[in-house]
Structure 1
Amino acid sequence: MAFQIKEQGKEYDVVIVGSGAGGGMAAKTLSDAGLKIALLEAGPDFDSTDPAQRTQLRWPWESPRRGAGSTRAFGDFDMAYGGWNIEDEPYTQKDGSNFRWFRSRMLGGRTNHWGRISLRFGPLDFKRKDYDGKGDNWPISYDDVAPYYDKVDQLIGVFGTKENMPNEPDGYFLPPPKPRLHELYVRDSVLKMGIPMIPSRLSMLTKKLDDRRGPCFFCSQCSRGCMVYADFSSAYSLIQPTMTDGNIEMYLNAMVREVITDENGRATGVSYINKEDMKEYVVKGKVVVLAASAASSARILLNSKSRAHPNGLANSSNHVGRYIHDSTGSGMMALIPELMDRQRYNEDGVGGMHLYTPWWGNDQKHDGFTRGYHIEYWGGMGMPAYGFGFGMENLSRLVPRENGDNRPGGYGKRLKEDVRRFYGSTLGFAGRGESIPQYDNYCEIDPNTVDSYGIPVLRFHYKWTNDEVMQAKHMVDTFEEIIHNMGGIVLGEKPGPERQYGLTKPGEIIHEVGTTRMGNDKNTSVLNKYCQAHDVDNLFVVDGGPFVSQADKNPTWTILALSWRTSDYIVDQLKKQNI
């Protein structure tokens, strides 16, 4: 496909690609410093208070497709424009891999979709190689990032409690919501096992922080985009408030093809395809910041070939795209007979768990794995979802009716009776753990495939190691023990070795990081400790790509903190005329 390339007349101080956690924080911080910013986003504008885009507080029957995943990955009422498969943007696999790549094409990116679990990495998480000899240490420590974690806590807001756990650093917390009945029930079982269970740490406002964002009103629909901006999204927490300064110009529906460089190999801007007219344009800037997500930023760099960078931009080490890794995951469902036939009352709470279990095993030896995981719990009497009531005949077999009528199936009165019996009595358990970064897990450019915009696509090569498989085994064994301690019944068949103990497909947890990792050695890393490219001093990456390793925590809070740290460095270096 041939495009007419048009250059914009002006030159910005900074061109930022991507408007998610990293891009939004960079845009705010750099704009606050007075710099002129071009912010490029591959999707449309988004505001959860816009009546045309609002999905919160709508009834299930208002959905045009009744929650079918063909419209959005998690159903119509999940506020993420995109998914693992986007018609115009394919990606491919290599050597039997099955990596699942989630893209969110909208202002704010995946911060409109995520569960708002906002955990700091701990001191051990930056130096895991010292602990187990695997992978590599970060070139920075917790102490380097801690001041920025503090700033993020206070700017955005996160609820929780101070627990003084060595590798679960405390921060500046808003009051947490009270536990619900099912969470209290699980907590009794978990604590008896010597496993911790503490208030969750989610970036949802439980009290007012500023005049723009209101406190959570407990509708449990954070995934639909908040009408009062109580939960965190880069769009309405970082970018939209900053737009009033006049320092940011947004380029929406802009699919970035590559970073443009001059004859000396320095970045001069980016080229992008405008989805509306399908023409190619160039936006010029003194500094380029990539925040398109770990895989997307790697794709842009690998497609940015020139005489000075024949192997792709910032890729003299051949490490762009290498060490991609995602969180591990496995889960289990349970029926708790003592929670059957519950009295009905409003139990919504925030759109997520009120309690969770941080990893408790750093000082223990485990069979076949060294890195840990945390446990998320869900259940209770929230608004029933699509399809609620189907499958009740299976629950009836597990807990027979008192009248002895245990015939499977049912409709009408019989179905209503079953729904009343079992509503609020099922619990879900999900482990989210740390994988070991591998050089041979990578994404590269597929030489034979382009997307609808003429841009070469990514091809993934990814295999789990035994560490991840055995960690998943530990997860399901732990879930089973918790359930039995509650007198519960495991629903479905417990996954065994033939299913890798329920280990999710790579990419499925949507925590992929590590494609442009930071390091002190330019031969084995892409960026330095300030997320600045070793090969190109006016190029930075502030998404999950710089991660040397993923902890057993969600990555967003660390992306935000590192982006703020890098943005301060950019301002300093521009003032000193070093870039």
Structure 2
Amino acid sequence: MQIKESSEIYDVIIVGSGAGGGMATKQLADAGLNVAVVEAGPFFDPADPKTMNQLKWNYESPRRGANTTRAFGEFDAAYGGWEIEGEPYTHEPGTEFHWFRSHMLGGRTNHWGRISLRFGPKDFKGKTRDGHGDDWPIGYEDVKPYYDKVDKLIGVFGTNEGLENDPDGFFLPPPKPRLHEIFYINGAKKAGIPTIPGRLSMLTKRINTERGVCFYCGQCSRSCSVYADFSSGSCLIFPAQKNGGRIKLYVNCVVREVTTNEEGKATGVSYISKDDRKEYKLRGKVVVLAASACSSARILLNSKSKQHPNGLGNSSDLVGKYLHDSTGASRAAFVPALMNRKVSYNEDGVGSNHVYSPWWGDNSKLDFPRGYHIEVGGGMKMPGYGFSFNPNEFNKFFGLKVGGYGDSLRDDVKKYYGSVLGVAGRGESIARKENYCEIDPTTVDQFGIPVLKFNYKWSDLELKQAKHMQDTFEEIFHNIGAEPLGDKPGKDRDYGLEAPGRIIHEVGTTRMGNDPKTSVTNKFNQLHDVDNVFIVDAGPFTSQADKNCTWTILALSWRASDYIIEQLKQQNI
């Protein structure tokens, strides 16, 4: 088959347009480099009214906004999901991993919760702390200048609290706690659990003329039509284009592999266009992979050549190894004191937590390492399909006759609207070599590209952490006089621990380290084996933390971009 090759040679080719790819696009284009961005999905701009994203009522859809068309609901700005027709993935028998992919300009940053937490000093030195996993080759002091820059460029609300492992930053004013969050604060305080204002990348104050300010519609999962929250397209790629950046977008283009020359250096990428199903090649001096931890690993493993028979950058045989996702467990409770609430005021707020609890535990007194934070949900959001509570739960556990039709249904909705409190733990798992993704030798996707096969199991340490979450949730519920909905999950249900991949925080497949034999990238996200290939998604994470990973992806991508600019100037790559 004849493959059409571009005549232009780009300074940098960036694969993926999410957090890492968007940041690299902005920094490299602003520096004057000629940049090609290759994205597997379509162009997306949340300000375009045709996207049917924000400020739409559920009744405006024949499906009432339900999740029959998209994983998180029809109105959610996520073009993809855990399962995509024609793009499968497989599993080693007896193992489980759910791989979420968002194929659209901006990637997952269009529909994430915008919880924007820095990793702390302890998070970079896990092995030193407790003997598990490995330390990063860098520390908080190396990343702090870039966290500061990200705060100022994108905007994040919160407060400086002086917590050692939850570092302070440059914060915009946070919104006030809502009523259900005040109940949570009181219950957590009685349990000795700290609660502080949330840290979310949503603008509560104007920082430039290109972006609007949050007006508390609470529909952030749809991506923001006034650019008040952080999405890669609206906050990084579009501004870089407006600033005169030389950026060429290749959308609906699925990268097959990184191409190399006789010396083993990268020469560009090969991709299949979804529009005509033909294969094309782009040429570039530097290739930056930002397709997501697993997708970038897949591209490297499929990039085999005489010089790289085991896959590009895989002389250590560690590409795809040490895959790990955040732990997650949740619980909901009915709060009788929140019944019969007045609904004559707007309590929507932002589309995520106004408050949260950072990790507070002393692991020397616990039976598991690391920790988790607690996120809080509830309030009087726009009622979803099912009215935000399950009548069967109320009927079963409280003997209440809830539901029906007509006036009785309307009365019950008003009575119980806003009376359910939800809590969710998000914690750190330990990176293990035996948790990995690899190429399935027998299966290809609809484009003829070999797919990934996953091998992943939680260990007893993650199960013990989930048990601690459930015990903590019950204590908080008791302290506020709430009645838990459903039975408390026990050991037979893995204490409610979500399956691997369901939290969508997967990291570690191209781990960072100083030794090429035990890592894939160096401390600047550069492949040990090929000096003109960089990984700027979460693949290089040596370990996860009890924090969401987006802010660290952004900071490390900016840091790697500065390094690329410096190395190009010195003609080292």
Q: TM-score range by the shorter chain?
A: over 0.9
SS in 1 for 2:365: coil
Distance of 1:391 and 1:209 partners within structure 2: 41
Indicate whether 1:360 and 2:360 are aligned: yes
Distance of 1:164 and 1:55 partners within structure 2: 38
Distance of 1:98 and 1:462 partners within structure 2: 6
Indicate whether 1:420 and 2:414 are aligned: yes
Deviation, structure 1 residue 189: 1.2
5+ long unaligned stretches in structure 2: none
Tell me the amino acid that sits aligned with residue 525 of structure 1.
S
Distance of 2:427 and 2:388 partners within structure 1: 32
Distance of 1:84 and 1:396 partners within structure 2: 33
1:445–1:236 Cα change, 3 Å: same
Deviation, structure 1 residue 399: 4.8
Correspondence for 1:191 among 175, 189, 214: 189
Deviation, structure 1 residue 413: 1.9
1:28–1:409 Cα change, 3 Å: closer
Distance of 1:108 and 1:527 partners within structure 2: 24
Tell me the amino acid that sits aligned with residue 352 of structure 1.
S
Q: What corresponds to 1:557 in structure 2? A: 551
Listed as ranges, the matches of 1:479-558 within 5 Å are 479-558=473-552
* Contact residue 32 and residue 245 of structure 2 kept, 8 A: no
Distance of 1:420 and 1:190 partners within structure 2: 27
Q: What corresponds to 1:220 in structure 2? A: 218
1:227–1:189 Cα change, 3 Å: same
Distance of 1:555 and 1:422 partners within structure 2: 35
Distance of 1:310 and 1:31 partners within structure 2: 33
Structure 1 residues 503-546: Cα deviation after superposition (integer angstroms, max 9, x where no partner): 00100000000000010010010000001000001010000000
Q: What corresponds to 2:468 in structure 1? A: 474
Correspondence for 1:208 among 206, 209, 225: 206
Correspondence for 1:172 among 162, 170, 173: 170
Q: What corresponds to 2:450 in structure 1? A: 456
Listed as ranges, the matches of 1:302-341 within 5 Å are 302-341=301-340
Q: What corresponds to 2:269 in structure 1? A: 270
SS in 1 for 2:180: helix
Deviation, structure 1 residue 391: 3.0
Distance of 2:191 and 2:387 partners within structure 1: 33
Correspondence for 1:16 among 14, 38, 42: 14
Which shows bigger deviation, 497-506 or 70-79? 70-79
Correspondence for 2:83 among 80, 85, 92: 85
Tell me the amino acid that sits aligned with residue 50 of structure 1.
D
Tell me the amino acid that sits aligned with residue 258 of structure 2.
V
Listed as ranges, the matches of 1:71-470 within 5 Å are 71-244=69-242, 245-344=244-343, 345-362=345-362, 364-367=364-367, 369-388=368-387, 391-392=390-391, 394-396=393-395, 398-399=397-398, 407=401, 410-470=404-464
SS in 1 for 2:248: strand
SS in 1 for 2:469: helix
Deviation, structure 1 residue 363: 5.6
Tell me the amino acid that sits aligned with residue 317 of structure 1.
S
1:537–1:27 Cα change, 3 Å: same
Structure 1 residues 178-230: Cα deviation after superposition (integer angstroms, max 9, x where no partner): 11011011101111221100000000000001001011000000111111100
SS in 2 for 1:270: strand
Distance of 2:362 and 2:11 partners within structure 1: 45
Distance of 1:390 and 1:297 partners within structure 2: 39
Structure 1 residues 55-77: Cα deviation after superposition (integer angstroms, max 9, x where no partner): 21101022243333231111111
Tell me the amino acid that sits aligned with residue 275 of structure 1.
K
Correspondence for 1:573 among 547, 555, 567: 567
Distance of 1:283 and 1:18 partners within structure 2: 14
Structure 1 residues 314-347: Cα deviation after superposition (integer angstroms, max 9, x where no partner): 0000000000000000000100111111111210
Count of aligned pairs between the two proteins: 571
Tell me the amino acid that sits aligned with residue 296 of structure 2.
S
Structure 1 residues 76-123: Cα deviation after superposition (integer angstroms, max 9, x where no partner): 110010000000211001122120000001000000010000000000
Tell me the amino acid that sits aligned with residue 349 of structure 1.
G
1:460–1:363 Cα change, 3 Å: closer
* Contact residue 67 and residue 74 of structure 1 kept, 8 A: no
Distance of 2:544 and 2:428 partners within structure 1: 6
Tell me the amino acid that sits aligned with residue 236 of structure 1.
S
SS in 1 for 2:135: coil
Listed as ranges, the matches of 1:47-58 within 5 Å are 47-58=45-56
Distance of 1:166 and 1:487 partners within structure 2: 32
Tell me the amino acid that sits aligned with residue 10 of structure 1.
E
Which shows bigger deviation, 182-191 or 413-422? 413-422
Tell me the amino acid that sits aligned with residue 336 of structure 1.
V
Deviation, structure 1 residue 421: 1.5
Q: TM (normalized to structure 1)?
A: 0.97
Tell me the amino acid that sits aligned with residue 567 of structure 1.
S
5+ long unaligned stretches in structure 1: 401-405
Distance of 2:218 and 2:462 partners within structure 1: 32
Which shows bigger deviation, 265-274 or 95-104? 95-104
* Contact residue 52 and residue 75 of structure 2 kept, 8 A: no
Deviation, structure 1 residue 396: 4.9
Correspondence for 1:40 among 38, 41, 44: 38
* Percent of paired sites with the same residue: 66
Tell me the amino acid that sits aligned with residue 410 of structure 1.
G
Tell me the amino acid that sits aligned with residue 483 of structure 1.
F
1:567–1:408 Cα change, 3 Å: closer
* CA RMSD across the alignment: 1.2
Tell me the amino acid that sits aligned with residue 358 of structure 2.
P
Tell me the amino acid that sits aligned with residue 45 of structure 1.
F
Q: What corresponds to 1:403 in structure 2? A: none
SS in 2 for 1:574: helix
* Contact residue 258 and residue 268 of structure 2 kept, 8 A: yes
Which shows bigger deviation, 92-101 or 309-318? 92-101
Distance of 1:449 and 1:96 partners within structure 2: 18
Which shows bigger deviation, 57-66 or 168-177? 57-66
Distance of 2:389 and 2:319 partners within structure 1: 47
* Contact residue 99 and residue 506 of structure 1 kept, 8 A: yes
